[in-house]
């Protein structure tokens, strides 16, 4: 099955045990499950933190979307990330990460896990040799985002996964920006995929959720243990909501990407715009890599406005269709200022190093009419 068909049917089986032919997975709200005898759960379930039929159906769908054997659902993307670190790292271990991560991931690494004797190095992962030279004997994870948030840098997932394996580490890829529709890191030799399912997988700005996909049995066991031990799991309502919404992933992603391409080309030709970051533009330095490891270029566009912080603030205030808000991946277009919003927790020095200037604006291009979106941008730039 192709991606669009898979998204519609993933995780659904109207005739599986417990279902009565319902074409969408029902919501099982019970926190606990009765059994007839002490030794064995009668219906296969014990307690909903450990496993729940609605979450199971959702997790099956997530696995199918990424072409993975297994998937695990979490109460947020950061909870999913924390679970990976908890499952795979111990005292004294080291992680090599790309230097342009989502600000909250960097905060999770340095401010939360940094307290427990774990060590993190950040490198420009556009150049695989930088990752290679940062790997040490105690490196357990190479953590990548591609494209990155917010400057849409790419890294060669296949080559860097090979480097990680050679150094005795595993490769984790945050695939939130591309979505499983446009990129599948497991097929590029990565070991674990992470999503903030709050974004494109959910797609409607109405649920906070996270997902981890994995095919290796041993890694899955470790992750599953921590998912239950820590308990940052989604409610059955959230699992059901996202499961229904991910059925339109293909339709939404095609429209996001077409609109983003139109918007990026418009911005690139505008005199008040200094620079546009979008992997679908020929001017993107890694456009060729994008064509080989992605099936489409996604819905995120960043650009640098002439006039720095002040111009960015005036531009963002003038928008009428684009809403000034954090987050991304929903059907409605959003705009934000990374330096003072999503990446405010990153130090100015680190921001500058990663190319996050004060004039940088990030757009999550929605599924509206692209002519309306371009008029809105044009009016605000004026």
Ligand X SMILES: Cc1ncc(COP(=O)(O)O)c(C=O)c1O
Residues that bind ligand X (CB under 6 A): 76-78, 102, 104-105, 145, 149, 174, 176-177, 196, 198, 208, 210
| Residue of 35, 49, 272, 295 with catalytic role | 49
| Spatial distance between the Cα atoms of 185 and 182, rounded to a whole number of angstroms | 10
113 secondary structure, DSSP code: G
Structure tokens at 352: 């500058």
The HSE-up count of residue 146 (CA atoms within 13 Å, CB side) is 36
| Residue of 100, 174, 191, 358 with catalytic role | 174
Query: Minimum Å distance from CB 22 to ligand X?
Result: 28
Query: Minimum Å distance from CB 27 to ligand X?
Result: 21
Q: Which is nearer to ligand X, 76 or 370 (CB)?
A: 76
Q: Which is nearer to ligand X, 4 or 327 (CB)?
A: 327
Q: In 3D, which of 185, 122, 120 has the Cα closest to residue 159?
A: 185
Q: Which is nearer to ligand X, 8 or 341 (CB)?
A: 341
Query: Minimum Å distance from CB 41 to ligand X?
Result: 31
| Spatial distance between the Cα atoms of 3 and 179, rounded to a whole number of angstroms | 11
* Whether residue 147 has a cis bond before it, omega within 30° of 0: yes
Q: Which is nearer to ligand X, 25 or 76 (CB)?
A: 76
Q: Which is nearer to ligand X, 107 or 275 (CB)?
A: 107
Structure tokens at 3: 């991606």
| Spatial distance between the Cα atoms of 265 and 2, rounded to a whole number of angstroms | 29
**For ligand X, which residue has the nearest CB?**
77
| Spatial distance between the Cα atoms of 50 and 54, rounded to a whole number of angstroms | 12
Query: Minimum Å distance from CB 36 to ligand X?
Result: 39
| Spatial distance between the Cα atoms of 240 and 77, rounded to a whole number of angstroms | 17
Q: Which is nearer to ligand X, 200 or 322 (CB)?
A: 200
Query: Minimum Å distance from CB 77 to ligand X?
Result: 2
Residue given tokens 């529709």 in the structure block: 181
Q: Are 234 and 55 in contact (CB under 8 A)?
A: yes
Q: Using alpha carbons only, what angle is made at residue 359 by residues 153 and 281, rounded to the nearest 5 degrees?
A: 40
- Kindly state the helix (H) or strand (E) to which residue 166 belongs, with its residue range: helix 157-166
Query: Minimum Å distance from CB 19 to ligand X?
Result: 29
Q: Which is nearer to ligand X, 192 or 273 (CB)?
A: 192
Query: Minimum Å distance from CB 194 to ligand X?
Result: 7
Which residues of 99-233 form beta strands (DSSP E)? 119-123, 139-145, 170-174, 192-196, 210-214
Residue 49 annotated among the catalytic residues of the structure: yes
The phi and psi torsions of 346 (rounded to 5 degrees) equal: -90, 135
Q: Are 238 and 346 in contact (CB under 8 A)?
A: no
Catalytic residue annotation: 49, 102, 174, 199
């Amino acid at each position: 099955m192709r991606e669009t068909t898979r998204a519609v049917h993933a995780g659904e089986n109207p005739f599986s045990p417990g279902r009565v032919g319902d074409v969408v997975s029902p919501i099982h709200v019970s926190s606990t499950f009765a059994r007839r005898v002490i030794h064995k759960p009668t219906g296969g379930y014990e307690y909903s933190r450990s496993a729940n039929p609605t979450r199971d159906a959702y997790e099956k769908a997530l696995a199918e979307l990424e072409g993975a054997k297994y998937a695990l659902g979490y109460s947020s993307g950061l909870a999913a990330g924390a679970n990976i670190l908890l499952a795979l790292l111990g005292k004294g271990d080291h992680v090599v990460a790309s230097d342009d991560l989502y600000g909250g991931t960097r905060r999770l690494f340095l401010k939360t896990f940094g307290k427990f004797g774990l060590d993190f190095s950040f490198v420009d992962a556009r150049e695989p040799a930088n990752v290679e030279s940062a790997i040490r004997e105690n490196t357990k994870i190479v953590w990548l985002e591609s494209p990155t948030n917010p400057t849409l840098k790419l890294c060669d997932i296949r080559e860097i996964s090979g480097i990680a394996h050679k150094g005795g580490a595993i490769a984790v890829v945050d695939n939130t920006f591309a979505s499983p529709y446009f990129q599948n890191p497991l097929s590029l030799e990565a070991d674990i995929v992470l999503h903030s399912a709050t974004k494109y997988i959910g797609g409607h700005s109405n649920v906070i959720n996270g997902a981890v996909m994995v095919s290796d049995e041993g890694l899955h066991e470790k992750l599953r243990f921590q998912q239950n031990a820590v308990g940052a799991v989604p409610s059955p309502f959230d699992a059901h909501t996202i499961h229904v919404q991910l059925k339109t992933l293909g339709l939404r992603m095609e429209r996001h990407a077409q609109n983003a391409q139109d918007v990026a080309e418009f911005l690139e030709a505008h005199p008040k715009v200094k620079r546009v970051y979008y992997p679908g533009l020929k001017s993107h330095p890694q456009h060729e890599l994008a064509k080989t490891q992605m099936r489409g270029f996604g819905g995120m566009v960043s650009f640098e406005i002439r006039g720095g912080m002040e111009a960015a603030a005036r531009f963002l205030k003038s928008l009428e269709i684009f809403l000034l808000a954090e987050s991304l991946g929903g059907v409605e277009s959003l705009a934000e200022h990374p330096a003072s919003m999503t990446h405010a927790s990153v130090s100015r020095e680190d921001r500058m190093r990663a190319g996050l200037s004060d004039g940088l604006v990030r757009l999550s291009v929605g599924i509206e009419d692209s002519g309306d979106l371009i008029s809105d941008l044009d009016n605000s730039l004026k």
